[in-house]
Amino acid sequence: MQCGLEIVPSERTTSGLSIKPSQNFPVATGRLCQKGLHALEHVLHSERLLEPFFKIGNDSQRWQQITWDQAFTDIAGKIKSLQTAYGPDAIGVYGGGSLTNEVSYLLGKFTRVALRSKYIDYNGRYCMSSAAAASNQAFGLDRGMTMPLTEISNAKYIILAGTNIAECQPTMMPYLLEAKKKGAVIVTIDPRNTMTSKVADIHVRLQPGFDSVFINGLLHVMIEEKLVDQRFIGERTSGFEQVKEAVKPFTPARVEALTGVLQAVIRTVARGFAKAETGIVLTARGLEQQVNGVENTLNYINLTLVTGKIGRPGCGYGAVTGQANGQGGREHGQKADQLPGYRLIEDPAARGYVAKIWGIDPNELPGKGVSAYELLQKVDEGEIKALIVLGSNPLVSSPNNRMVERALQKLDLLVVVDMFETETARYAHYLLPGSSFAEAEGTMTNLEGRVFHRQKALELPGNSKLDFHIICRLAEALGRGAYFQYTDIEDVFRELTAATAGGKADYSGITYRRLQEEKGLFWPCPSPNHPGTPHLFEQRFHHPDGKAKLFGIQPKMPAEPIDSEYPYVLTTGRLANHYLSGAQTRRTDALNKKAPVPVAEIHPWLAKRIGLGTGNQIRITSRRGSLCLEVKVTEGIQPRTVFVPFHWGDENSINVLTNDALDPTSRMPEFKICAVQIECI
């Protein structure tokens, strides 16, 4: 979202500071969620890393303080030695979706110019990759939302699929409530009754894995009853005949038999969305974190295209981003196959352009690497000997994380840059203290594609360093410092904008001054006088013919269907008071006390089936491991589904159980569907 907050003096806190929402900042309409209001607690936490450390010998518990100069010298020496023995690709880099645009850009440049390695990816692969791939295929362009958030309140019909906005993006709720106040119909599609579904007019409690079956049912009704926008389809899309053929067998009766969703509900939603004057579809991880996640997303995009609800007021599609800079983090070089501005690294023209900006020969640039989880598999297989992790905790956030733990233990060199000793950092050889959001100036791009400037508010604590300084110093120690000469972070941004010029995500008309004066600009913004682009696709889509592409989707099985041995579906997700791997929020007392441990949610039918009694815990077992959890029995979940939040590590990490099967296009792991056994203990 990129909500605006102000850090102000306070006599009520021990730090003398507190946070309040900015009243004149766009997006959050003068509000903050509980994570925003308590964001200073982790910044000022007593466990904050203040000095660089390294490990002594094989004793994994013993840290010893080291000077920055010695740390850079040692790390660079080990990298050079490993690359001499095994080649440049022996080193990998794992980034984060909460880094600024500038640091994301530098990390990609560092990997390809200083390390000359092809192996970089980031935890945003677990977040937005399926939606990004689908948007590129359908529209030719990937931006989280095709319209500003303000258009939500102008929509007459809103479909929220696999997204729990009330808990994950609370400051978006006022837009939905305003739309509802104006008479909009809201439909939620989720296996659970959530805080979001409470405001819905219709809640479709769909078992994970059946999204495309359900959407094919909606499309079948729209086409059968001639509710589609034939003019828009003919003038602005291609592929409609494929859709007609694909959905033909998915009558409401068949979809009800497959999903349990009543025919009347299928017809009501199909007719309501098609006939509404305006409409918006928003999707998130519920349908995207599957091996069929790209196809699921394409099918939801089909709804907007066949009804002509895109490129005009009150209409559009949006993928609800789950990380602080999930959008900007993937635009500027952290993804394995991309250079800044969404340029593809294997496109000769793109390589030539960016190489010129960087002052190197295009032949020096490596090719594309692999996705985040595959990068960790390369570590396990021994191909990657050293790993640099910046702003991420992959041991907690990755599926089948026992493999990740095994891989980290095999590394000859693990360097972690973070604010805390995370679960991942425990396996590091060097632990370097980086900066928090409050100490680092830079830019962020929110789910609308709107770029904001974030000011520095606090001084760095102790002997910690800005992330961008750490990258540049390490490049210097590797003998590549000539390519990383910047006077300040704004200098990095200037180079970033030049590197994006002419790309899909063109920032070349954006400056710090404009961002400060105009309080954010939507990309593409290709020139200094360009106003930015709040609304995409008003005249044409980004494919060469200007048309959007429709895709006929044949629903496929999940990678791990339920069977007699593993008869239930585990799905994972978030809680309102926690964030990602919990490295920050589990250290924030005001948030952690509301949910100190994960609690599994199961239906009364399932509780009775397993003989659950008062005070019992449950054991959940998948083909990868077992976990014992406290349990909450609730009517508000699909009967054969168990829900567990993922914000914990160690003995509370649900990702011990999750499946590491990947979507063939996006390489997104199937977090949302995992066949399990459940028993009471």
Determine the pLDDT at residue 326: 86
Q: How confident is the model at residue 403 (pLDDT cuts 50, 70, 90)?
A: very high
Q: Per the structure, how many domains does the chain have?
A: 4
For the cut 80, the answer to whether the pLDDT of residue 662 exceeds it is: yes
Determine the pLDDT at residue 70: 98
For the cut 90, the answer to whether the pLDDT of residue 209 exceeds it is: yes
Determine the pLDDT at residue 56: 76
Q: Dihedral of the CA atoms 499, 321, 457, 473 (nearest 10)?
A: -40
- Residue 27 backbone zone (phi > 0: left; psi -120 to 50: alpha; other: beta): left
Determine the pLDDT at residue 58: 56
User: Locate tokens 């996705």: which residue?
Assistant: 371
Of the candidate ranges 183-192, 320-329, 402-411, 569-578, the one whose mean pLDDT is the lowest: 320-329
543 falls within a domain: no
| Residue 582 vs residues 172, 422, 556, 645, 652: alpha-carbon distances, Å | 22, 9, 33, 11, 12
Sort strands 63-65 and 120-122 into parallel, antiparallel or unpaired.
Answer: unpaired
Sort strands 386-390 and 413-418 into parallel, antiparallel or unpaired.
Answer: parallel
545 falls within a domain: no
531 falls within a domain: no
Q: Dihedral of the CA atoms 296, 301, 306, 307 (nearest 10)?
A: 120
Determine the pLDDT at residue 633: 97
Determine the pLDDT at residue 37: 94
Task: Identify the three-state secondary structure at position 172.
Answer: helix
Token pair, residue 310, equals 């895109």
Residue at 219: amino acid letter:
L
Domain containing residue 636:
568-680
Same domain, 102 and 161: no
- Global pTM reads 0.96
DSSP 406-430: HHHHH-SEEEEEESS--TTGGG-SE
530 falls within a domain: no
The mean pLDDT of 166-194, rounded to a whole number, is 96
Same domain, 262 and 346: no
Segment 356-396, tens digit of pLDDT: 999 999 999 999 999 999 999 999 999 999 999 999 999 99
536 falls within a domain: no
Look at residues 276, 296, 319 and tell me which one is the last residue of a structural domain: 319
CA dihedral over 500, 504, 505, 507, signed as positive or negative: positive
Q: What percent of the chain has pLDDT over 70?
A: 99
For the cut 80, the answer to whether the pLDDT of residue 678 exceeds it is: yes
Same domain, 286 and 345: no
Token pair, residue 236, equals 């602005």
For the cut 90, the answer to whether the pLDDT of residue 219 exceeds it is: yes
Segment 534-569, tens digit of pLDDT: 999 999 999 999 999 999 999 999 999 999 999 999
Same domain, 32 and 58: no
Determine the pLDDT at residue 116: 98
Percent helix / strand / coil, the chain, rounded to 5: 40, 15, 45
Q: How confident is the model at residue 507 (pLDDT cuts 50, 70, 90)?
A: very high
| Domain containing residue 641: CATH number | 2.40.40.20
For the cut 70, the answer to whether the pLDDT of residue 133 exceeds it is: yes
Contact 497, 507 (CB under 8 A): yes
13 falls within a domain: yes
Determine the pLDDT at residue 14: 87
For the cut 80, the answer to whether the pLDDT of residue 603 exceeds it is: yes
Q: How confident is the model at residue 60 (pLDDT cuts 50, 70, 90)?
A: low
Token pair, residue 673, equals 């569907």
| Domain containing residue 492: CATH number | 3.40.50.740
For the cut 90, the answer to whether the pLDDT of residue 409 exceeds it is: yes
Cα–Cα dist 653/626, whole Å: 10
For the cut 90, the answer to whether the pLDDT of residue 35 exceeds it is: yes
Q: How confident is the model at residue 24 (pLDDT cuts 50, 70, 90)?
A: confident
Q: Dihedral of the CA atoms 192, 196, 201, 203 (nearest 10)?
A: -10
Same domain, 81 and 228: no
For the cut 90, the answer to whether the pLDDT of residue 614 exceeds it is: no
Segment 230-260, tens digit of pLDDT: 999 999 999 999 999 999 999 999 999 999 9
Same domain, 380 and 513: yes
Residue at 378: amino acid letter:
K
* Average pLDDT value over all residues in the chain: 96
Same domain, 504 and 384: yes
Cα–Cα dist 569/535, whole Å: 39
455 falls within a domain: yes
Same domain, 612 and 504: no
Of 678, 675, 673, 604, the closest CA to residue 211 belongs to 673
Segment 308-318, tens digit of pLDDT: 999 999 999 99
Task: Please state at what angle helix 211-224 crosses helix 293-306, rounded to 10 degrees.
Answer: 20
Same domain, 11 and 102: no
Burial of 529: CB neighbours in 10 Å, binned 0-12, 13-18, 19+: exposed
Same domain, 295 and 338: no
Determine the pLDDT at residue 180: 98
Cα–Cα dist 480/127, whole Å: 32
| Domain containing residue 149: CATH number | 3.40.228.10
The mean pLDDT of 109-123, rounded to a whole number, is 98
Same domain, 312 and 349: no
Same domain, 236 and 267: yes
Q: How many CB atoms lie within 10 A of CB 97?
A: 26
351 falls within a domain: yes
